[in-house]
Amino acid sequence: MNEMKENNNISSVCTNSMEKREEKKELTRTTILKTENFDMANSSFITPPPATTTSDIDQMPSVYALSTTATPPPPLNSIFDMMPCDIIGGDQKAGSLGFIDLLDINQDFGTAASLFDWFAQNPIVGSQQQQTFVPSPASTLPETSEVLNNPATPNSSASISSSSNEAGNDAFQQVKTGDQEEEKDHDKTKKQLKPKKKNQKRQREPRFAFMTKSEVDHLDDGFRWRKYGQKAVKNSPYPRSYYRCTSAGCGVKKRVERSSDDSSIVVTTYEGQHIHPSPITPRGSIGILADSTGFGAATSSFVIPQTQYQQHAYMYSSSPSLNITTTNTSFSPTFSFHQRRSDSPASLLRDHGLLQDIVPSQMRKEPKKE
DNA sequence: CGCCTTTGACCCGCGC
DNA sequence: GCGCGGGTCAAAGGCG
């Protein structure tokens, strides 16, 4: 109890204090990269990511995208496809077995004002393609990369098949299997669902995680969340918070916790798919345009408030030359993530032979500065 | 008053 | 079967 409170203090938790958020938002920095060896069950890296090396990077915003899957993920047509609905097969246990490279972001971002701009500017043909990525020491991962993905789970593989389903919900359904329909009403009745069949493992919603270098734990992503739980995390001084989207009928959840290795890194894990547009488009926030497919909403959990990230958008890559720096530029005030469903950084990377270059496990050992 | 967080208890799955 | 740990519930209280 007391310990938990202490943890809260330690981790500079300011979950819903707008004031504090305002104070600290500028401290939030974002870098997106893909990684692997992420233990989704524990929201931790199976293998601690190598340290970033440059002091520059240390100054950069940090968002690390992570995801796991137990089943071959559906089409990866864009970075935004890496949202829960499309990417992560949702079995927690299996998911914990390994982490898959899904955030295939690695590209010369050129003049893109931001990560999001970049995505907007780089249409990629990604449909009807199949991609399999099997982290393996002997595989295509270049050891020159600073990435050092210790394949904690050699068996884990991201099979990204593609069928570019324009209906986001349908895409989501692709991930679902069999009895998952039962899950629809699991939210309220979970507790009463004792008579759950023994052999029916509870299927988890697809999940998507990313890491954010921020002093703010609960990032404002444009949606309204209600905290419904907090648990101490084993082997971590920081607690894990559980949030649920407050919109009626929307069962999207997210977990937020700090990296035990680097307290400046917040690991946010989204689970599920929004069935509504972002209720909030606060000034400075990147709004999400949900389309009729609902996919926009589905991917909206990736929304990053402009106010928090506009200072820098940085993307790690194993190759310094591939780093993008977007300094003091702002994200598009409104970005429709779903609008690039045919764009695939993954395929782009594939086309450019960069897929394996992406830095995964690197971020955890960023030089601690505190 | 409504919405939110806090927090102890409970449920559930898994490993031993 | 038991214990552990993750995840969730729901009552209580805080806050605007």
Considering only CA atoms, name the residue closest to the C1' of nucleotide B14. Answer: A93
- Residue A86: closest CA among A99, A62, A98, A103: A103
DSSP-based three-state secondary structure for A194: coil
CA–C1' span, A28 to C16, in Å?
26
Share of chain A above pLDDT 70, in %: 19
Name residue A31's beta-bridge partners: A314
Q: Does the C-beta of A243 come within 7 A of strand C?
A: no
| CA diameter of chain A | 56
**pLDDT exceeds cutoff 70 at A224:** yes
Mean pLDDT for all residues in chain A? 44
Q: Please, which pLDDT band fits residue A214 given cuts at 50, 70 and 90? A: confident
Kindly report which listed range (A16-30, A103-117, A193-207, A242-256) carries the lowest average pLDDT score.
A103-117
Mean pLDDT of the A211-234 span: 81
Nucleotide nearest to A40 (CA to C1'): C6
**pLDDT exceeds cutoff 50 at A178:** no
Mean pLDDT of the A317-322 span: 29
At a CB cut-off of 8 Å and minimum separation 6, what does A147 contact? A50, A141, A318, A357, A358, A359, A360, A361, A362
Q: Please, which pLDDT band fits residue A144 given cuts at 50, 70 and 90? A: very low
Name the range with the highest mean pLDDT among A10-19, A147-156, A258-267.
A258-267
Q: Please, which pLDDT band fits residue A271 given cuts at 50, 70 and 90? A: confident
Q: Please, which pLDDT band fits residue A264 given cuts at 50, 70 and 90? A: confident
CA–C1' span, A8 to C4, in Å?
23
Q: What is the pLDDT of residue A203?
A: 60
CA–C1' span, A171 to C10, in Å?
34
Distance of CA A310 to CAs A28, A108, A196, A228, A327, Å?
Answer: 10, 19, 47, 30, 8
Q: Please, which pLDDT band fits residue A221 given cuts at 50, 70 and 90? A: confident
Tens digits of residue pLDDT in A300-319: 333 333 333 332 222 222 23
Nucleotide nearest to A198 (CA to C1'): B13
Mean pLDDT of the A198-217 span: 66
Query: Strand B neighbours with CB under 7 A?
Result: A 1, 4-5, 8, 13, 15-16, 93, 191, 193-194, 196, 198, 200-202, 218, 224-231, 241, 243, 246
Strand C proximity: list residues 127-166 of A with CB under 7 Å: none
Q: Does the C-beta of A43 come within 7 A of strand C?
A: yes
Q: Does the C-beta of A255 come within 7 A of strand C?
A: yes
Q: What is the pLDDT of residue A204?
A: 62
Q: Please, which pLDDT band fits residue A201 given cuts at 50, 70 and 90? A: low
Considering only CA atoms, name the residue closest to the C1' of nucleotide C5. Answer: A234
Handedness of CA A145, A346, A74, A197 (dihedral sign): positive
Q: Does the C-beta of A209 come within 7 A of strand C?
A: no
Q: Does the C-beta of A185 come within 7 A of strand C?
A: no
Strand C proximity: list residues 217-236 of A with CB under 7 Å: 228-234
**pLDDT exceeds cutoff 60 at A114:** no
Q: Please, which pLDDT band fits residue A96 given cuts at 50, 70 and 90? A: very low
**pLDDT exceeds cutoff 70 at A112:** no
Distance of CA A187 to CAs A95, A205, A297, A314, Å?
Answer: 21, 12, 19, 37
Q: What is the pLDDT of residue A301?
A: 34
pTM passes above 0.85: no
Tens digits of residue pLDDT in A41-95: 333 333 333 333 333 333 333 444 444 333 333 332 333 333 333 333 333 333 3
Q: Does the C-beta of A41 come within 7 A of strand C?
A: yes
Tens digits of residue pLDDT in A283-306: 433 333 333 333 333 333 333 333
What number of other Cβ atoms are within 10 A of residue A349's Cβ? 24
**pLDDT exceeds cutoff 50 at A28:** no
CA–C1' span, A222 to C9, in Å?
26
**pLDDT exceeds cutoff 50 at A229:** yes
Q: What is the pLDDT of residue A62?
A: 41
CA–C1' span, A21 to B4, in Å?
16
CA–C1' span, A45 to C5, in Å?
17
Q: What is the pLDDT of residue A348?
A: 30
